[in-house]
């Protein structure tokens, strides 16, 4: 049987379709239209939240669900087995997942199980005109290069997609489509969840913040981040950081921005004492405005920034903070 259709793997967060899922639906819709095929979303869980139907309003033609007690908490083996079974039943042409904690864990195992090729962490997806193949573009070498990949013969063509790289469609409740439960049998898992600890962000969540104040190794200590915290509070923003500051135990890893951290795209990103390594820029280069404060005029961050001050942040930042206070008070 020839493969047909685009399937996106959907994820929920706080009882809603997560933003990456909406982005996948937007990207998937474009591919489906280019190929003249259907777009479906698939959700796993126990029970599967009825909110998954909303995928139709955001671009899907169909929604598949797999409800199984083994899928209540994410574990690699049952989830991979569930998606494997779905792919064997539905024979999609393209399967997209988010480059999320779950997507990056599940996608490689699933691709190997299906004997197909996979491009991870893609930022651009397109159907090649003559071959009708999916061309997936992914940053490599920490973002110092871009690679365009295809999967010529094996199916489905698989990719995981970087957060905030794709446009979601506006919600359209007039769209119609079916929700179809799939029944699959799942193997028992050789791993078990012992505990899961989630840290609640105190203020604005990093991924949602419109203003991010980020500090790097040059901040010099955990205490050094206090001024950054104060500035973030003042502007209703969030504090972000680099891997160097996480490795030094100045900040929790949940604050890390970059290739192996969070992907953010705020209106304003203030990078303080951050050199601008490509792996860090991978997480913030989608920001609308980057402001850099760095004592090294040759720091790479100035190549990504729109505004910069060359100087010691210990002197520049307090003066900046005071002026911001003054401006906010007088306006």
Partner 1 sequence: MNSIVCVKQVPDPEAPPASFRIDSATNRMVPAAGVKPVLSPFDEYAIEAALRLKDAQGGKISILSLGKNLALDVVKKSLSMGADELYLLQDDAFEGGDSYSTAYALSLAIKKLGKFDLIFCGRQAADWDAGQVGSGIAELLGIPSITVASKVEAADGKARVERVLPDGREVVEVDLPALVTVSNELGEPRYPTLKGIMAAGKKPVTVWKASDLGADPAQLGRAGAKTNLLKLYAPVRETHCEIVEGETPEEAGAKMALRLRQAKLL
Ligand X SMILES: Cc1cc2nc3c(=O)[nH]c(=O)nc-3n(C[C@H](O)[C@H](O)[C@H](O)COP(=O)(O)OP(=O)(O)OC[C@H]3O[C@@H](n4cnc5c(N)ncnc54)[C@H](O)[C@@H]3O)c2cc1C
User: What are the residues whose beta carbons fall under 8 Å from the beta carbon of 10, sequence distance 6 or more?
Assistant: 17, 18, 21, 24, 41, 42, 43, 52, 55, 63
Q: Which is nearer to partner 1, 167 or 247 (CB)?
A: 247
Q: At how many degrees (to 10) do helices 313-330 and 226-234 cross?
A: 20
Site residues for partner 1, window 140-169 (CB under 8 A)?
Answer: 140-152, 154
Among partner 1, ligand X, none, partner that 76 touches (CB below 5 to 8 angstroms by kind)? partner 1
Q: For residues 119-148, which are near ligand X according to CB under 6 A?
A: 142
> Tokens 């992907």 map to which residue?
263
108 is an interface residue for partner 1 by CB under 8 A: yes
Q: What angle do CA 232, 249, 287 make, to 5 degrees?
A: 40
User: Closest by alpha carbon to 95, among 67, 72, 64, 70?
Assistant: 64
Pick between residue 137 and residue 278 the one whose CB is nearest to ligand X.
Answer: 278
- In whole angstroms, how far apart are CA 246 and each of 99, 208, 213? 21, 20, 15
33, 167, 172, 247: which one binds partner 1 (CB under 8 A): 247
Q: How far apart are CA 84 and CA 9, in angstroms?
A: 12
Min separation Cβ 161 and ligand X, Å: 17
Cβ nearer to ligand X, comparing 38 with 121: 121
Q: How far is the CB of 206 from ligand X (least distance, A)?
A: 13
> Of 17 and 277, which CB lies nearer to ligand X in the complex structure?
277
Instruction: Name the residue among 284, 281, 282, 276 with its Cα closest to residue 300.
Output: 276
**Phi, psi values for residue 283, rounded to 5°:** -95, -10
- Select from 11-19, 74-82, 97-105, 275-283 the region that touches ligand X (CB under 6 A): 275-283
Query: Does residue 16 touch partner 1 according to CB under 8 A?
Result: no
Residue of the chain from 47, 88, 267, 296 that contacts partner 1 (CB under 8 A): 267
Q: Which does 105 bind (CB under 5 to 8 A by kind): partner 1, ligand X, none?
A: partner 1
Smallest separation (angstroms) from partner 1 to the CB of 134: 11
Choose the stretch contacting partner 1; rule: CB under 8 A; options: 15-23, 28-36, 167-175, 317-325. Answer: 317-325
Contact 60, 40 (CB under 8 A): yes
Which among partner 1, ligand X, none contacts residue 286 (Cβ within 5 to 8 A by kind)? Answer: none
Q: In a 3-state reduction of DSSP, which class is residue 249?
A: coil
Using the minimum distance from each CB to partner 1, give the nearer residue, 221 or 289: 289
Q: Which of 256, 263, 269, 304 is in the footprint of ligand X by CB under 6 A?
A: 256
- Out of partner 1, ligand X, none, what residue 315 binds, judged by CB under 5 to 8 A for its kind, is partner 1
- State the minimum distance, in angstroms, from the CB of residue 256 to ligand X: 5
Distance CA 109, CA 78 (A): 12
Residue 270 CB partners (closer than 8 Å, separation 6+): 211, 212, 213, 214, 231, 290, 291, 293
Per CB under 6 A, residues contacting ligand X are 142, 216-218, 242-245, 256-261, 273-275, 277, 279-280, 283, 294-296, 299, 312-314
């Amino acid at each position: 049987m020839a493969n047909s259709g685009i399937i996106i793997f959907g994820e929920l967060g706080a009882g809603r379709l997560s933003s990456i899922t909406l982005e996948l639906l937007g990207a998937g819709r474009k591919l489906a239209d280019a190929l003249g095929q259907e777009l479906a979303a698939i959700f796993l869980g126990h029970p599967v939240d009825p909110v998954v139907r909303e995928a139709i309003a955001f671009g899907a033609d169909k929604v598949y669900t797999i409800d199984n007690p083994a899928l209540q908490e994410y574990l690699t083996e049952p989830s991979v087995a569930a998606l494997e079974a779905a792919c064997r039943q539905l024979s999609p042409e393209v399967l997209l997942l988010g480059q999320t904690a779950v997507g990056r864990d599940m996608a490689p195992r699933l691709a190997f199980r299906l004997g197909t090729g996979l491009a991870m962490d893609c930022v651009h997806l397109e159907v090649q005109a003559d071959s009708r193949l999916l061309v997936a573009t992914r940053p490599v070498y920490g973002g110092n290069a871009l690679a365009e990949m295809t999967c010529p013969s094996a199916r489905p063509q698989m990719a995981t997609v970087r957060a905030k790289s794709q446009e979601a469609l506006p919600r359209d409740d007039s769209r119609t489509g079916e929700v179809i439960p799939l029944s699959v049998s799942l193997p028992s898992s050789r791993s078990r969840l012992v505990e899961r600890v989630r840290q609640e962000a105190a203020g604005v969540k990093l991924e949602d913040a419109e203003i991010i104040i980020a500090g790097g190794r040059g901040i010099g200590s955990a205490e050094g981040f206090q001024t950054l915290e104060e500035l973030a509070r003042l502007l209703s923003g969030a504090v972000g950081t680099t891997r160097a500051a996480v490795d030094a135990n100045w900040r929790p890893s949940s604050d890390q921005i970059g290739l192996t951290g969070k992907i953010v795209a705020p209106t304003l990103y203030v990078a303080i004492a951050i050199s601008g390594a490509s792996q860090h820029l991978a997480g913030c280069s989608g920001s609308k405005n980057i402001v850099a404060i760095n004592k090294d005029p040759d720091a790479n961050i100035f190549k990504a920034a729109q505004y910069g001050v060359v100087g010691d942040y210990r002197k520049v930042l307090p003066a900046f903070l005071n002026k911001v206070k003054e401006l906010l008070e007088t306006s």
